Structure 1
């Protein structure tokens, strides 16, 4: 902290202007109940951000020497709104003149939901509260409407009071960055060297810094939970998009609760601690608890408008996910890190590549389409993360948090069978990489058998005859095949319960072993995407759904959240073009139907998988255990119809972008039969044996008239493309039909020799990808071209 000279220098900042304002705003000396006081810098009651040792010392002094609250040096300095002061005087039957008697101060009672903001005295107030025989009040030197600048200067002089939180220091640095560089340096001095380096790197981060500091600056209550030391791990985790989505969801949730951005300033540290990790729109227990805090005035102390408090009670019912905060993000990152590290290992093996996980996944996604694959990509990415979450322990080799009385397992390792299944699922979903192909091609039983041989006879002491080794492995694997799948009749996990729900302390961070065993087979994107009805309380399965939504977003019918962030082209490690124009036509008309197939196939495949699986028992955790679950009931028919209608509307919009007249668009009429949804069922048959997955499509995902199909099929071949050819004077344009692009390229090569192909923004394009783009740039290889020649523009 500061030495005596620094203290003296700081006191010198109390200029004549500050002293003059204090003299003008002084109203007198009063006695005030401790419950009517809140303390700087975060304006919360005295039992937060205190030193227990200091409080114990004061209590000992009070017992042995007494409590001298009449000594002016022991007074607290507080400020109050002038109008509130007049109401308090009327309530206390006092006048302003009565406040001038400093020898016999009078007791001042404040109206409901009103508080005096004190610059000092937090520890003294806490000690008095723990010593009730002394009376729970303190003497306050009272001012009316001190300016924030003057109050901050006064409060910051009490350096021996409760330590400033990292979030408050960060907010002060941001506040003084432009206005007062010298003040900014003084706040930097409050951080250790390592914390200062982390904060500087965080301030420079182009994507994470803006949403984080928006939370810190707009919601005062978030500052206390901000811990600088954890953010070097978050930055190093290379999961920027997921963290940004979590922070944006945090701001959206609190805006939905408070009603406006201005009302966010009423949220203090105590409010965030009370509301975070609760879901009053689903849990009746949470709603009753939070409603009691609001109605009693304990929550949102600075919100004095009674009508606004009533509106809060109504808005709470719209909160359908756990209320997040910066604190819960730092905890939930521990769970996210396990998932994203698994994804990186699946895509790239042990190689360390300096790109975010989402960019790597996007680069590995093989089913890109020029009309914009984002919706399909994100849908499949979320489904792949669901698979990772379902087998997280077996994939990472890290045990969940232990239940009370549970013993830690002796051995936990990454199981080859789970990695093999994950790689097969990744390929089925359209992700391809060298590591995925390697994992999908390996026989996991052979790996387990070989490990068993080396465990029984260590290779440092024994060796096997290489000519006999494969026969030994085959015999062991044949014995594996004698095992039968266990059958379990246990009920499926639910999102809500009429009994005791998930404790608050277990609603963020890593999973516990009991929750993992109980819930893992219920991890399902379709199930997660269904709205949850109000009930008594929530379960651990709802916690996983809420965490998944915060990081990756769920598309619920009644939810208006923003879509997932798109990976930026500049971050892609691949030289091929990763950007798409929504106006470009697909070369394959079946692309239009792909999202509809995925919705239907996801539901059907999930039921198939869950019918052949079963849940592990709660304790102890037994991994890699296959069980058979009773077949789940069919999906709600209304949900089928709603999703099918949305898919048809989407097809119409896509056709509109390709220039179809309205009359032709209206010809698309979904045909239904009784009890059958618009999307024809049983369209996707999966053969999950071997390393490659075969996909067999039955006829048609949407029934449309033959005249419309005649328009759709040839459209991609007849569409006009623009070719920009580069010479030393610039770009020259020519046009051709998409179907004749190959002949044109051959003509260009015969004239110019070897050529390279580019997107008009300068990214390289492979020759077989040319037909997917509306505009293609051609550059002879013997012509020198620089980045300054892009973006390509017609002369």
Structure 2
């Protein structure tokens, strides 16, 4: 089969024809067709020629008439389509190089792959051809397509198809069944894809793309092959279930036949019904184009999250490294969920749900301040050497240390080293007793994402500012609410689901019956110390990696204690572990905002 019709390429050629003419006799503009011997002989007889005379015509090309179904165009479909839309009916002819349909498969393939002066093939088309010929074990034609790539793109594609990236490559290959997606392929960005070390998230997004489009045709591979480039390019980035304006637009395009033109009217009606009602069709309509654009946003977040882990041959991805570092201690079967900058709630959850919700909330931390990611990571049960190193840079300790040194002139007084560190720990411990003030309710004002180009990639600064107060676990996991225009907050939710998936019913927003939604205060500066680790908990590189006293960990106060008892308990705990907390200085800031805000 020839190239799939690219409507943008047709428009490009149509503009050229209108400006410079069709140049139909130029040999570089010939198209290539195959016909049966029977149909060729019939057309020659009608023109008063024999097939032999047809071969010898040099000065003037004869005009042959064929019915549309009698000719198969192997090369030049875009020129013919553009000419059909440009030329008057009485002048619709083109110069054709004719081959009989009994030519060898190799010659047929070579003719299909020939491009002459046509627009160069897209990255997606090159990828599809190379994977097709690899599957067919056709080395000759594989190499022909490899030569169309620049050295850099060829290198990246070889990396993707290597054994090291089997699962990620398989996720791309799963999209081969839907030809309309491949205008969005970008081989040049594969370097970013592979460097992220977020394979699970990338695979989830690609699977989401596949499932969305396959769902529209009930995963019927024959019908999936009918989804064309124009359909995907036209519908991507609309959100018909979240925006009433988008809903009207998408419905009109589908039912009117502007898209899904290879389907009957009844089939298009069924497709619209899927989009309108199926859960898989929630959010923004995804594609390979949105995937590569949204990677630029994931990269900004990933660069910060990766600083919390150490990747190695056993833990190759960020997720695997963090899951491996999870230490569930005294959770009482409940997940800690942050609901604002200073408040938390608990809800029941299994170990897997603790890991899942904790992992998601790490990505929800403000990646602009690395310390603001380490604190929730530790709170949520993750223990890595980088997290511990970051937490040792608490400014609470710096403030306490500076206060002690300034209280007495250093040339007149000094502290015993062990006593000094103990005092630093005690003073820093008292900071933890601060109870945050109840914040005033934040007005629910978010940005709008009316323009399609605003719905993927890195959001604009103004949009981030408007969405910032609302981006927390419960908000991202709440149900989609249809509005007239798509909100920027809904864009964040849609992108979040594309990479991380929708939460299970057991992790949907709700407060635990035993722990009503409440504020669990956490000082914006205080980094609590560790309690002794259990014998079964492994150490990391001779560093003391330990759990935390949960009451201290989440800044809670036991209301049955007097303030003096609380102070004494806090000081005793710091005294017990002073030797494991070497003096470190650094910059600290608690900014547990949320995923997708830079």
- Identify the residue that residue 211 of structure 1 maps to in structure 2: 171
* Per-residue CA distance 1:302-341 (angstroms, 9 max, x = gap): 22x3321110111111321212222211111111111122
Q: Of 76, 91, 94, which residue of structure 2 is paired with 1:120?
A: 76
Contact 2:43 2:64 (8 Å CA) reproduced: no
Following superposition, the deviation at residue 245 of structure 1 comes to: 0.9
* Per-residue CA distance 1:119-150 (angstroms, 9 max, x = gap): 21635754785x67898955486999999987
Following superposition, the deviation at residue 199 of structure 1 comes to: 0.9
Asked whether 1:336 is paired with 2:298, we answer: yes
Q: Of 324, 328, 343, which residue of structure 2 is paired with 1:367?
A: 328
Return the alpha-carbon distance in structure 2 between the equivalents of residues 515 and 292 of structure 1. Answer: 29
- Identify the residue that residue 237 of structure 1 maps to in structure 2: 196
Following superposition, the deviation at residue 387 of structure 1 comes to: 2.0
Return the alpha-carbon distance in structure 1 between the equivalents of residues 43 and 377 of structure 2. Answer: 78
Cα distance change of structure 1 residues 121 and 320 upon mapping to structure 2, 3 Å threshold: closer
Highest RCO, 1 vs 2 (Cα 8 Å, sep ≥ 6): 2
The TM-score with structure 2 as length reference comes to 0.65
Q: Of 181, 190, 205, which residue of structure 1 is paired with 2:148?
A: 190
Asked whether 1:321 is paired with 2:283, we answer: yes
Return the alpha-carbon distance in structure 1 between the equivalents of residues 256 and 34 of structure 2. Answer: 23
Asked whether 1:174 is paired with 2:127, we answer: no
Contact 1:80 1:117 (8 Å CA) reproduced: no
Return the alpha-carbon distance in structure 2 between the equivalents of residues 526 and 383 of structure 1. Answer: 11
Return the alpha-carbon distance in structure 2 between the equivalents of residues 466 and 146 of structure 1. Answer: 98
Contact 1:531 1:556 (8 Å CA) reproduced: no
Asked whether 1:163 is paired with 2:114, we answer: no
Cα distance change of structure 1 residues 506 and 682 upon mapping to structure 2, 3 Å threshold: closer
SS at match of 1:122: helix
- Identify the residue that residue 478 of structure 2 maps to in structure 1: 530
Following superposition, the deviation at residue 271 of structure 1 comes to: 1.4
Contact 2:123 2:183 (8 Å CA) reproduced: yes
Following superposition, the deviation at residue 226 of structure 1 comes to: 1.0
- Identify the residue that residue 300 of structure 1 maps to in structure 2: 260
* Per-residue CA distance 1:559-615 (angstroms, 9 max, x = gap): xxxxxxxxxxxxxxxxxxxxxxxxxxxxxxxxxxxx88x9656xxxxxxxxxxxxxx
Which protein is richer in strand relative to its size? 1
Cα distance change of structure 1 residues 73 and 169 upon mapping to structure 2, 3 Å threshold: closer
- Identify the residue that residue 545 of structure 1 maps to in structure 2: 493
SS at match of 1:538: coil
- Identify the residue that residue 506 of structure 1 maps to in structure 2: 454
Following superposition, the deviation at residue 536 of structure 1 comes to: 2.1
Return the alpha-carbon distance in structure 2 between the equivalents of residues 360 and 242 of structure 1. Answer: 14
- Identify the residue that residue 233 of structure 2 maps to in structure 1: 273
Q: Give the alignment of 1:492-503 within 5 angstroms.
A: 492-493=444-445, 501-503=449-451
Contact 2:449 2:455 (8 Å CA) reproduced: no
Cα distance change of structure 1 residues 686 and 68 upon mapping to structure 2, 3 Å threshold: closer
SS at match of 2:353: helix
Contact 2:305 2:373 (8 Å CA) reproduced: no
Following superposition, the deviation at residue 222 of structure 1 comes to: 2.0
Asked whether 1:691 is paired with 2:522, we answer: no
- Identify the residue that residue 244 of structure 2 maps to in structure 1: 284
- Identify the residue that residue 516 of structure 2 maps to in structure 1: 681
Q: Give the alignment of 1:696-707 within 5 angstroms.
A: none
Return the alpha-carbon distance in structure 2 between the equivalents of residues 424 and 258 of structure 1. Answer: 46
Contact 2:6 2:78 (8 Å CA) reproduced: no
Asked whether 1:381 is paired with 2:359, we answer: yes
Return the alpha-carbon distance in structure 1 between the equivalents of residues 94 and 319 of structure 2. Answer: 58
Cα distance change of structure 1 residues 72 and 194 upon mapping to structure 2, 3 Å threshold: closer
Return the alpha-carbon distance in structure 2 between the equivalents of residues 44 and 134 of structure 1. Answer: 23
Cα distance change of structure 1 residues 70 and 176 upon mapping to structure 2, 3 Å threshold: closer
Cα distance change of structure 1 residues 443 and 504 upon mapping to structure 2, 3 Å threshold: same
Cα distance change of structure 1 residues 289 and 697 upon mapping to structure 2, 3 Å threshold: same
Q: Give the alignment of 1:463-478 within 5 angstroms.
A: none
Cα distance change of structure 1 residues 159 and 354 upon mapping to structure 2, 3 Å threshold: farther
Return the alpha-carbon distance in structure 2 between the equivalents of residues 504 and 211 of structure 1. Answer: 26
Return the alpha-carbon distance in structure 1 between the equivalents of residues 399 and 291 of structure 2. Answer: 37
Cα distance change of structure 1 residues 694 and 70 upon mapping to structure 2, 3 Å threshold: closer
Return the alpha-carbon distance in structure 2 between the equivalents of residues 145 and 279 of structure 1. Answer: 45
Unmatched runs of 5 consecutive residues or more in structure 1 = 1-38, 86-95, 396-418, 451-464, 475-483, 558-594, 602-643, 645-677, 699-795
Contact 2:315 2:321 (8 Å CA) reproduced: no
Asked whether 1:431 is paired with 2:402, we answer: no
The TM-score with structure 1 as length reference comes to 0.50
- Identify the residue that residue 443 of structure 2 maps to in structure 1: 491
Following superposition, the deviation at residue 697 of structure 1 comes to: 11
Asked whether 1:346 is paired with 2:311, we answer: no
Cα distance change of structure 1 residues 225 and 48 upon mapping to structure 2, 3 Å threshold: farther
Contact 2:231 2:260 (8 Å CA) reproduced: yes
Cα distance change of structure 1 residues 71 and 432 upon mapping to structure 2, 3 Å threshold: closer
Cα distance change of structure 1 residues 240 and 145 upon mapping to structure 2, 3 Å threshold: same
* Per-residue CA distance 1:418-461 (angstroms, 9 max, x = gap): x44433222211122333233334344898999xxxxxxxxxxx
Contact 1:211 1:248 (8 Å CA) reproduced: yes
Contact 1:41 1:164 (8 Å CA) reproduced: no
Return the alpha-carbon distance in structure 2 between the equivalents of residues 117 and 537 of structure 1. Answer: 44
Unmatched runs of 5 consecutive residues or more in structure 2 = 48-60, 334-348, 402-408, 415-423, 425-435, 529-551, 559-598
Following superposition, the deviation at residue 361 of structure 1 comes to: 1.1
Asked whether 1:518 is paired with 2:466, we answer: yes
Cα distance change of structure 1 residues 79 and 523 upon mapping to structure 2, 3 Å threshold: farther
Following superposition, the deviation at residue 491 of structure 1 comes to: 2.2
- Identify the residue that residue 7 of structure 2 maps to in structure 1: 45
Following superposition, the deviation at residue 202 of structure 1 comes to: 0.6
User: How many pairs does the alignment contain?
Assistant: 462
Contact 1:198 1:231 (8 Å CA) reproduced: yes
- Identify the residue that residue 248 of structure 1 maps to in structure 2: 207
SS at match of 1:260: coil
SS at match of 1:366: coil
